[in-house]
Structure 1
Amino acid sequence: MITKMKKLTFLIYYKEYEAFLKRMQELGVLHVQTAQEGVVEPTSELEAKLRRTEHVKEWINRLEAMPVPDNPLADNRGVADILSHLDRMEETRHKAEAELQRLRKDEAALLPWGDFDPARVEGLSDIGYAMGFFVCPERSFNEEWAALYYATEVTREKGKVYFVTLTPVGEEVVLDAERLRLPCVSLMDLRKQIREKEEGIAAIEHEMGRLAQGYVARLRGYEDELRTSIAFDRVVLGTEQVADNRLMVLQGWIPEDKEAEVKSFLSTQEVYYEIRAARREDNAPIKLKNNAFVRMYEVLTKMYGMPDYAEFDPTPLVAPFFTLFFAFCMGDAGYGLVLIALGFFLKHKLSSSLKGIMNLVITLGAATTVFGAVLGTFFGVSLFDVDVPGWMKQFMIVGKIGDTSYDKQMLLALIIGVVHICIAMTVKAIGATVRYGFKESLSDWGWLLLVVGFICTGGLSFMKVISENVSNTAFLVIGGVAAIGIYLLNNLHRNVFANIGAGLWDTYNMATGLMGDVLSYIRLYALGLAGGMLGGVFNQLAFMVRDGAGDALYGVPGWLGCGLILAFGHTLNIAMSCLSAFVHPLRLTFVEYFKNSGYDGKGEAYEPFSIVKNK
């Protein structure tokens, strides 16, 4: 559900404004409206703080990614000295890496020629000769060059010939080949320089790693200070000034349950304020308030967008259906047990901020275990075909529908889809009534009556609960009443002919859209079936290897191969199934449900103006 909000408006004397604002920031409950508009140009000081914050964040991420050494280094530098020290080390490392890249380029140039002493080559000039280094394609190499220039082949690589010439000093060498300028250093000395540079870079990285543990905590504190200061500056810049800039006007929002606390605080301040309940048209910031189960799924709602203040929180309906969809797509009780075990294991390994995600993984795993048992699959094995108690098989939804070729699980997916869309249409009609009034939502109620009424009547007639004559009469009555809302009263502010035209257009969209929406839910059945079949294939392959190995070496190689295939195959299948079981239910929620429920998701999240603290 959406927490009720109260709007506050303050008038503060400009000399007392910043002191009052700091106290409000310490209170940490006011969502400042002016600070969120983003229409004020930031000052150079604010821009400098933003750049500094990004710089600090980059170093935090860099240091956190470094392995923790056995001998961390204690360092009591201040934050400014820490940043300067890190920047100097980074600059040194960059220079060393640039030099290392140059040395490796020189090494690549020397490799075809092997290790030789450049000083001895230069010494040839003392006896009147000069040595040249050339390369050319193999097809261009001319054996006559040996007689003309004492050309001597050194090596051949990748279709090229590397050779040297020996000519009197001053004699021009004219060849169809590229003359090379080699580094004036031997290959052995060059490799020594490369090792020294590599060791220097490694030493810098090692020192950073030893300093990381102590540096990160202080940098995080500094980042908090910067972000708190930035938030303060933005509020100051976004504050309206009146009465010749002598009065500051500040507006914001607080949760209704914080009103008493805020009033108690304001009673001690020299400030004039007004407080009133938020109206639907105010589009107040959104703070979700749900129970522990639903709260795990708020992350999905936030991925799409927060509801408007006038909308309903979709999370209480997203939670059970997403759980059901995920379990259907996974469709294997054994995989559900793996998710439960993985969730409990990672819950004690990950940070506190990720524990909520692990609770969601455990919940989805439990749902998958139950639903997978209903679908009759356990690690790719069909439970209905093995020796399990008969009472368990009674709860399994497997096989075909009677003598038809239609699968029960496919029908179940379609039924779930119909129910999901009907609930979405109900939410849309109720929401439109609450926001705009019953008269403005007659079209939504008409469509809801038509779809749900026809489904219920058709179902009762199919199950022989009502006779054919009763069902025909019910269809006519429901259709007639629904048509009034759809075609005649869909907009009371237009003439009847415009309403009929709009109703016909809505009919076309509903007829084509609803059918496609319902059929989209077949993906639940298809993904569950595919995962179960793939798991069964890995089982067959594993035991084929086991049987093929026979009893050689007491059957150890066969069982080892069987175990490896089972472990690898089911791990791969679980990973792919989890990805599909997350993406496709999310798609059914964001597209089919939100579209038919009229959910916009354009609300602004409640973000109180407070002291920033890293979690």
Structure 2
Amino acid sequence: MIVPMVKVYVAARSRDRQRLLEAIGELGVIHLVPADPAQALVDEQTAEQIQSLQRALQVLYGIEPQGDQPELSAVEAAREVLRIEHQTAEYGNRLATLHHEIEQLDLWGNVRLQQIEELRQAGIDVQFYTVPDHDLAAMAAECVAVVGEQSDGRAVVATASRKQNVGLPESASVLPLPPRDAPTIREEAARIDADLKAAHRRLAELAHLDPQMQAELGRLQKQAEFVVAQRGGLTSEQLFAVQGWMPAEQGRTLAGELDKTGLPAAVHWMEPAADEQPPTLIRSPAWARPVEGLLQILGTVAGYREFDVSVPFLIALPIFTAMLISDGGYGVVLLLAFTLGYRKLAPALGTQFTRLMILVSLAAVVWGGLCATFFGVTLYPPVIAVDMTEASRTFMMRLCFWMGAIHLSLAQLWPAIGLFPNLRFLNKVGWAVFIWGMLGVVQMFVLKTPMGWDTPWPYLLVTGSALAIVFCQPSWNVGKMMLMGFANFPLSMLSSFSDVISYVRLMAVGLASSVLGVSFNEMARGIDAWPLAILVLLFGHSLNLGLAMIAMFAHGVRLNMLEFCNNLGMQWTGYRYNPFSGRTTQES
């Protein structure tokens, strides 16, 4: 559920502003809102240090400490880390340029320009030309040698002469020397490579200071948050006040909690106005919290007046992903990976997201068991066949369309409950009914099922359309009401059709995954050398599993975030409830 919020004002004597902020920080329940955001800014030095520490910790992530620990402060270490990062980026770009230059010098081999210059100083003129093969005999000099061939077939000829009287055919062209030779470029690349290794060693030494940088970052963030809170308050000669949001359940007890600190303060709270947007605090059931990990990765926050979609997401996403994978063997691999590697994966991916992936893996194992498919092999007669037969494809498409109708109609009925007894709830009910009628239309076009007046589909379409149009904008002005309904209906109707048919992706991607697994098995079966066959199997099934994970986000998450949430009316316009407590916190 989305926790109800109240707007709160807390005022104290101006000389008690420090005590007031400390007391509010200890309570940790008020999401402060600055009175003037332009003034509620931290100083540039602190902001720069925080940014440097954050970026440095990102650079050092995963680097094992080695060597001696440097005698540096946390901020100095962070700045050196960023300097090294900048240098290594420049080194990498320079190496790429040098490698490109060397590729252009294949014709010249290991010739050194210095050697040619020494010959010229000794009185021997060395020149290079390109000549067609049929004119090679016309080249005249004290020394003539074919040293290479260009891509167009012309020969590269070197001449050496003390008298500079070289005889050339008209077809000969002078080949200028390159600005640099390959050995010189390789020497520079070797120096840069050595510098890169030294930079990596230095980063490993600086990694010893990771805990100190973490601690300093926390201290600076706490200091910055305190400064922003202080500068964001309302100030006069006698009074200092702050404003913000807090859970309604705690708003009634705030005055009493402040009294316990012995601080004279006044508290006033009120319900949010219709045009105000409080922060969003979601308290999902404990079993539905794994979805929070996914929403954090996506960076989406429901608006205060929107919906907590944790429960429907947790039900639908594992089912959709299991159908997209369509292989119990892949589910077993994922389950073992996320359970056995839980301690290492949870800090990297987030505890809740790791738990979500365990649930997804379990669903994949169950669906794979129903399909009897494990690593592209059918082990026993399946309960639900996922293959290229007409019967299987028809059943899977029908199943997907029905799942889509259920999913989308629930998305329409959920806000209808909140709108009741406003007549607009009938508009939502109408769209839910219309979606079931649209199911019949989709099945008629895709599966060639009948859709006459002896089926329920036309009646559902007519009933749903009437409710959706009439109650789109309920009004005593019937003409205006009908006009608004008809104006909004066409696009919404087309959207309903595309939304229902969009669920066929579950069948299409799942079938593709199954066929790809079978194809790799057949490919490996045709290879006589068993080590190579094993490599083909490992590569093929790893690739298929990777594609399945991409499909989870590209299709499974999409069906929830777009099709379901669009029908629900979600716009994801919220921002997180972040109470002031001297550090950045988030209720878990």
Instruction: For residue 571 of structure 1, report the CA deviation from its aligned partner.
Output: 1.9
Q: Distance in 2 between matches of 1:533 and 1:320?
A: 27
Alignment-derived partner of residue 427 in structure 2: 443
Quote the sequence identity (%). 21
Alignment-derived partner of residue 562 in structure 2: 591
Alignment-derived partner of residue 269 in structure 2: 275
1:167-246 map, 5 Å: 177=174, 198-209=193-204, 211-241=205-235, 243=236
* Aligned amino acid, residue 296 of structure 1: P
Q: 1:228 to 1:178 in 2, by over 3 A?
A: farther
Alignment-derived partner of residue 344 in structure 2: 349
Alignment-derived partner of residue 432 in structure 1: 419
Residue aligned with 2:7, SS: strand
Instruction: For residue 567 of structure 1, report the CA deviation from its aligned partner.
Output: 2.6
Q: Distance in 2 between matches of 1:450 and 1:101?
A: 59
**Which stretches in structure 2 are left out of the alignment for 5+ residues?**
165-171, 441-451
Q: 1:380 to 1:237 in 2, by over 3 A?
A: same
Q: 1:490 to 1:582 in 2, by over 3 A?
A: closer
Deviations 1:572-606 (Å, cap 9, x if unpaired)? 22221222133211121122111212222211211
Residue aligned with 1:297, SS: helix
Instruction: For residue 79 of structure 1, report the CA deviation from its aligned partner.
Output: 2.7
Residue aligned with 1:282, SS: coil
Deviations 1:498-541 (Å, cap 9, x if unpaired)? 22233334443344322222111111111111211222222233
1:251-400 map, 5 Å: 251-256=243-248, 258-259=250-251, 262-267=254-259, 268=261, 269-278=263-272, 281-302=275-296, 303=298, 305-352=300-347, 354-385=350-381, 396-398=383-385
Q: Distance in 1 between matches of 2:129 and 2:585?
A: 62
Q: Distance in 2 between matches of 1:581 and 1:604?
A: 26
**Which stretches in structure 1 are left out of the alignment for 5+ residues?**
169-174, 386-392, 457-467, 550-556
Alignment-derived partner of residue 507 in structure 2: 525
Q: Distance in 2 between matches of 1:371 and 1:577?
A: 14
* Aligned amino acid, residue 244 of structure 2: G
Residue aligned with 1:272, SS: strand
Residue aligned with 1:423, SS: helix
Q: Distance in 2 between matches of 1:488 and 1:90?
A: 63
- Maintained 8 Å contact 1:281/1:310: no
Residue aligned with 2:366, SS: helix
Q: 1:572 aligns with which of 529, 543, 568?
A: 543
1:486-501 map, 5 Å: 486-493=468-475, 495-501=477-483
Q: Distance in 1 between matches of 2:99 and 2:399?
A: 64
Q: Distance in 2 between matches of 1:453 and 1:530?
A: 29
Instruction: For residue 417 of structure 1, report the CA deviation from its aligned partner.
Output: 0.9
Q: Distance in 1 between matches of 2:90 and 2:439?
A: 73
1:22-41 map, 5 Å: 22-34=22-34, 39-40=37-38
* Aligned amino acid, residue 524 of structure 2: A
Residue aligned with 1:113, SS: coil
Q: Distance in 2 between matches of 1:529 and 1:103?
A: 47
Q: 2:56 aligns with which of 47, 56, 59?
A: 59
Instruction: For residue 414 of structure 1, report the CA deviation from its aligned partner.
Output: 1.3
Instruction: For residue 343 of structure 1, report the CA deviation from its aligned partner.
Output: 0.9
Alignment-derived partner of residue 462 in structure 1: none
Instruction: For residue 32 of structure 1, report the CA deviation from its aligned partner.
Output: 1.3
Residue aligned with 1:343, SS: helix
Q: 1:20 to 1:249 in 2, by over 3 A?
A: closer
Q: Distance in 2 between matches of 1:99 and 1:483?
A: 65
Instruction: For residue 326 of structure 1, report the CA deviation from its aligned partner.
Output: 0.9
Instruction: For residue 188 of structure 1, report the CA deviation from its aligned partner.
Output: 8.1
Q: Distance in 2 between matches of 1:471 and 1:246?
A: 77
Residue aligned with 1:253, SS: strand
Deviations 1:464-518 (Å, cap 9, x if unpaired)? xxxx99998x987x88876764444433336222222333344433443222221
Q: 1:215 to 1:134 in 2, by over 3 A?
A: farther
Instruction: For residue 439 of structure 1, report the CA deviation from its aligned partner.
Output: 3.0
> In terms of mean alpha carbon deviation, does 332-341 or 497-506 score higher?
497-506
Deviations 1:425-459 (Å, cap 9, x if unpaired)? 101322334xxx51343322333355569989xxx
Residue aligned with 2:526, SS: helix
Q: 1:538 aligns with which of 520, 536, 539?
A: 520
Instruction: For residue 11 of structure 1, report the CA deviation from its aligned partner.
Output: 2.2
Q: Distance in 2 between matches of 1:491 and 1:430?
A: 17
For this pair of structures, how many residues does the alignment match? Answer: 556
Question: Is 1:601 equivalent to 2:572 in the alignment?
Answer: yes
| TM-score under structure 1 length normalisation | 0.75
Alignment-derived partner of residue 552 in structure 2: 581
Deviations 1:142-196 (Å, cap 9, x if unpaired)? 999976xx7877955746556667579xxxxxx985776978xx99899778756
Alignment-derived partner of residue 16 in structure 2: 16
Q: Distance in 2 between matches of 1:502 and 1:53?
A: 52
* Aligned amino acid, residue 525 of structure 1: M
Q: 1:143 to 1:46 in 2, by over 3 A?
A: farther
* Aligned amino acid, residue 441 of structure 1: F
Q: 1:481 to 1:63 in 2, by over 3 A?
A: closer
Q: 1:162 to 1:56 in 2, by over 3 A?
A: farther
Deviations 1:518-566 (Å, cap 9, x if unpaired)? 1111111111112112222222333333xxx4xxxxxxx44x4443333
Q: Distance in 1 between matches of 2:65 and 2:162?
A: 57
Q: Distance in 1 between matches of 2:192 and 2:390?
A: 77
Residue aligned with 2:243, SS: strand
Q: 1:178 to 1:232 in 2, by over 3 A?
A: farther
Q: Distance in 1 between matches of 2:371 and 2:582?
A: 51
Alignment-derived partner of residue 167 in structure 2: none
| TM-score under structure 2 length normalisation | 0.78
Deviations 1:6-34 (Å, cap 9, x if unpaired)? 32212244443245324434543321122
